[in-house]
Structure 1
Amino acid sequence: MICLSDDPAATPAGQTLREVFAARASIVHIMAVEAALARVQARHCLIPAAAAADISAKASLAFFPTAEWSRQRARVGHPLVAILEAWMTRLEPGSREWLHYGATTADLFNTVLILQLQQAGTRLLEQMHDVGLRLAEMAGAYRATPMVARTLGRHAQPITFGMKVGVWLAEHGRSIERLQAWLARYRTGILSGAVGTYAAFGDQGPSIEREVMAELGLDAPEAVDWKGSRDRYAEFGCAVALAARTCGHIGQEIFLLSGDDLDEVRETNGAVGSSTMPHKANPSLCIEVVSRSREVSARLLPLLEWILVVYERDSAQHGDVLRDLCVGMADLLACLRQLLDTLVVLPQNMAANLQRSRGMILSEAITFALAEHIGKHSAHIAMRQLVAVARQRNCSLQEAARDSEEFKTLFAERPELLEVAHYIGRAPDIADAAVAAASLRAMPGAFKPLGKA
């Protein structure tokens, strides 16, 4: 496909995530961190209280001159210095000397990035829980609807569609748990100075850092400087990439089941399938989900490369990688939810496909029933021979068994062995278990950074 859109995101959900990482949002976070730092330093008598009050009172976009920022960016060539220089023009002359006192750019940027990832991760979790609810509805509704289980692309045994969806739901649930774990583990920023020694803050450094994090609504800081360790961002990327791949797994399964040769589910999106073939009804949303899952997971590699830091730290990272990862994931989840909402399940076609192997799909059931009389090994050999006869004659398993007294007797005694519904095992219970597990996976409280209602 070619590019036919200049939109920064494909869906409203993606646009919401993009706004989390927007320049204005980043500046608001920077101002909030600087204001918190000033207040704490004033309490520790490191800077004048009047300066801290002025910085705090003007920590909003109303006091940020955008035009001056653009001019400073061109002049100084340093992202944070340009922001600080522009903001200083709105501060009282006596306050300007105390802005950003003792901190370093990496402190600010890493703390802001954590604040943004906490917001973005929480929003993604909301979408993921929404998808999980829809999957749970489907698993429950079709808990006992028989269909063909396929292994290596071939008919294997009967299961239920509810169980299949339950497998998707459980995998999706693990994605939720991984992202929840990241959000719980990394709820703090950093404020330890240029190389992490707190040298500019003196002995009060750790206390200042701890108090600033508390003011920002974050957890207590870690004991060891991590500005030169980028593994937490790669871990976030891994959690999102795995979740994206699960979305792709679901989309691909639906794509395959909706093919003309199976026709067990249908995507009812109403889209035109072809510019020249009027009969085409393409699985457009399936394709969208699978494609986007690949694109999102491909953004993991740069985050893994971030881990190779030169000495104590370097600047070989760009936040737009994480932004694009989150925006892409939000778009993907929105597409998946739309796909699930427009999906039509066709139990009658599932039942018809169960008969396509003409009884061979029940070979295991028959083998174990016969094993009660002649042993498993012998029953397996006899069953393979019967299957070979059926294939050679191009007939059903039951027709092939007419020449075998052994099988004729078995089928006469246990006619249910030839009925698909009697060999779905505990598939309905498994679907129920998946739904029950999902219901216990409660949505955690949303992360609310400083200044957010």
Structure 2
Amino acid sequence: MVSLIRELGASTPEMLEVFGDEMLVRAALDFERELARAQAAEGLLSEAEAAAIAAACEQLPDVAALAEAAAHAGTLAIPLVAELRLRLADDPAAAAKVHMGATSQDVADTALMLQARRGLALIRRDGERLVKALAQLADTHAATPMLGRTLLQPARPITFGLKLVAWMSGVEAALKRLVGEAETAVALQFGGAAGALDSLGGRAFAVAERLGAALDLPVPAAPWHARREGVAGLAGALAILVGALGKMAFDIALLSQAEVGEVFEPRVAGRGGSSAMAHKRNPTGCQVARSAALRAPHLAAAILSALPQEHERGLGGWQAEGPVLTELFCIAHGALAAMAAAAEGLEIHPERMAENLAAAKVGDDIGEAPALVARALAATRSRA
């Protein structure tokens, strides 16, 4: 699936790496290493034992073999912990203390959050890139007249700058929502077998604080094993961002139809052609974002459907979230990268805008469109 996603441009190499198997295993190993160090700092194991466990966590195991074993066991933690204990066969005291006080879901959820944090950094970076490109274009075309269209029919005059700030504001608001959801969702998971933080001799809270600090993850007031609203909020915010990108993509695709001819994606050698019709100039980047916008709501819905989880740790619900959230991150970044590239090289034809506006015979009064553009750009700059 990953190779096909890459080939179709539905994601980016960077995001695929963040959510790849190796990064997942590395995040799980980071959890086990820092757990041992935190417990040593609280006197629950010796410094030598923690150092031995940390050393065992340095080298990635055979990821393909581990994936097969995880599928058989039903969780990554079981074969991973077994591998670490095997590496510590010459130090049975340290081997016995690997994963002490934790449970498989602690590893899975925390590893997913470590991946999500890296993925969010990529989205914020390229989101800012897109907003900047759209703002520059809007400033340039604040007063460039064009035909407004409502219900897919000719309406009243607007300016291209006004359309650009609509795209920009939608993306900007979606990014803000995503950052807000991430502040709640991206957190340490550490609760032990049933979420009561037993087996740590009264040092559990201190261990959790040290573990969170080491992994740079906030520590919630209580474990969230069966409380999944944070993950659901993150999924919903990703889907909203993809929807904002899809709106921009659909508009560009409609404006680039030959009979409209007002805006086109940048020309890139070997991209956007047709296997059967040499004359075509297909909006391939828009295709990526539009496709993502069709998929994202259903992916988010899958995570929403997993919200009611049973008792202290559920069956099947949280296990479904990782692959779905991974796909949401991947298609969101693919859509974002496609639209950022489109905005930075957008081919704009003001003369065609003028011709289409004149042909519609709806007048030439652009109203307060330039002032609205200026207000929107000033608001964006104040938040930068």
Instruction: Give the structure-2-normalised TM-score.
Output: 0.89
Residue 156 of structure 2: SS of its match in structure 1? strand
1:279–1:46 distance in 2 versus 1, CA, 3 Å: closer
Question: For residue 438 of structure 1, what is the aligned residue in structure 2?
Answer: 380
Q: Which runs of 5+ in 2 are unaligned?
A: none
Does residue 336 (structure 1) correspond to residue 339 (structure 2)? The answer is: yes
Q: Please give the alpha-carbon distance, in whole angstroms, between the structure 2 residues aligned to 1:8 and 1:267.
A: 20
| Residues 313-332 of structure 1: pairs in structure 2 closer than 5 A | 313-316=313-316, 317-318=319-320, 319-332=322-335
Larger radius of gyration: 1
Question: For residue 411 of structure 1, what is the aligned residue in structure 2?
Answer: none
Moved over 6 A (4+): none
* Aligned amino acid, residue 119 of structure 2: A
Question: For residue 14 of structure 1, what is the aligned residue in structure 2?
Answer: 12
8 A contact 1:299–1:321 mirrored in 2: yes
8 A contact 2:272–2:284 mirrored in 1: no
8 A contact 1:144–1:428 mirrored in 2: yes
Does residue 178 (structure 1) correspond to residue 171 (structure 2)? The answer is: no
Q: Please give the alpha-carbon distance, in whole angstroms, between the structure 2 residues aligned to 1:320 and 1:74.
A: 13
Question: For residue 37 of structure 2, what is the aligned residue in structure 1?
Answer: 39
Instruction: Give a deviation string over 1:11-57, Cα, whole Å, max 9, x none.
Output: 49622112112222222222221222212222222223321121123
8 A contact 2:250–2:290 mirrored in 1: yes
Question: For residue 154 of structure 1, what is the aligned residue in structure 2?
Answer: 153
Residue 355 of structure 1: SS of its match in structure 2? helix
Residue 142 of structure 2: SS of its match in structure 1? coil
8 A contact 2:288–2:334 mirrored in 1: no
Q: Name whichever of 141-150 and 292-301 sits farther off.
A: 292-301
Residue 28 of structure 1: SS of its match in structure 2? helix
8 A contact 1:266–1:343 mirrored in 2: yes
Q: Please give the alpha-carbon distance, in whole angstroms, between the structure 2 residues aligned to 1:74 and 1:236.
A: 26
* Aligned amino acid, residue 128 of structure 2: H
Q: Please give the alpha-carbon distance, in whole angstroms, between the structure 2 residues aligned to 1:323 and 1:19.
A: 11
Q: Please give the alpha-carbon distance, in whole angstroms, between the structure 2 residues aligned to 1:277 and 1:215.
A: 56
8 A contact 2:188–2:217 mirrored in 1: yes
Instruction: Give a deviation string over 1:111-138, Cα, whole Å, max 9, x none.
Output: 1111111111111111111111111111
8 A contact 2:15–2:330 mirrored in 1: yes
* Aligned amino acid, residue 222 of structure 1: P
Question: For residue 367 of structure 1, what is the aligned residue in structure 2?
Answer: none
Q: CA deviation at 1:170?
A: 0.7
Instruction: Give the structure-1-normalised TM-score.
Output: 0.76
8 A contact 1:132–1:172 mirrored in 2: yes
Question: For residue 210 of structure 2, what is the aligned residue in structure 1?
Answer: 211
Question: For residue 245 of structure 1, what is the aligned residue in structure 2?
Answer: 243
Q: Name whichever of 310-319 and 170-179 sits farther off.
A: 310-319
Question: For residue 354 of structure 1, what is the aligned residue in structure 2?
Answer: 357
Question: For residue 191 of structure 2, what is the aligned residue in structure 1?
Answer: 192
Q: Which runs of 5+ in 1 are unaligned?
A: 363-419, 443-453
1:277–1:33 distance in 2 versus 1, CA, 3 Å: closer
Q: Please give the alpha-carbon distance, in whole angstroms, between the structure 2 residues aligned to 1:82 and 1:301.
A: 31
Q: CA deviation at 1:246?
A: 0.9
Q: CA deviation at 1:337?
A: 2.2
Q: CA deviation at 1:262?
A: 2.3
1:82–1:9 distance in 2 versus 1, CA, 3 Å: farther
Q: Name whichever of 109-118 and 339-348 sits farther off.
A: 339-348
8 A contact 1:55–1:95 mirrored in 2: yes
Question: For residue 308 of structure 2, what is the aligned residue in structure 1?
Answer: 308
Q: Name whichever of 424-433 and 92-101 sits farther off.
A: 424-433
**Alignment partner of 2:53 out of 45, 52, 55:** 55
Instruction: Give a deviation string over 1:168-187, Cα, whole Å, max 9, x none.
Output: 11111101101111222334
Residue 264 of structure 2: SS of its match in structure 1? strand
Residue 299 of structure 1: SS of its match in structure 2? helix
Question: For residue 126 of structure 2, what is the aligned residue in structure 1?
Answer: 127
Question: For residue 104 of structure 2, what is the aligned residue in structure 1?
Answer: 105
1:259–1:198 distance in 2 versus 1, CA, 3 Å: same
How many positions carry a matched residue from both structures? 376
Q: CA deviation at 1:427?
A: 1.1
When the two chains are superposed, the root-mean-square deviation of aligned CA atoms in Å is: 2.5
8 A contact 2:84–2:98 mirrored in 1: no
Q: CA deviation at 1:75?
A: 7.5
Q: CA deviation at 1:433?
A: 2.4
1:231–1:45 distance in 2 versus 1, CA, 3 Å: same
Question: For residue 299 of structure 1, what is the aligned residue in structure 2?
Answer: 299
1:240–1:149 distance in 2 versus 1, CA, 3 Å: same
Does residue 79 (structure 1) correspond to residue 79 (structure 2)? The answer is: no
Residue 438 of structure 1: SS of its match in structure 2? helix
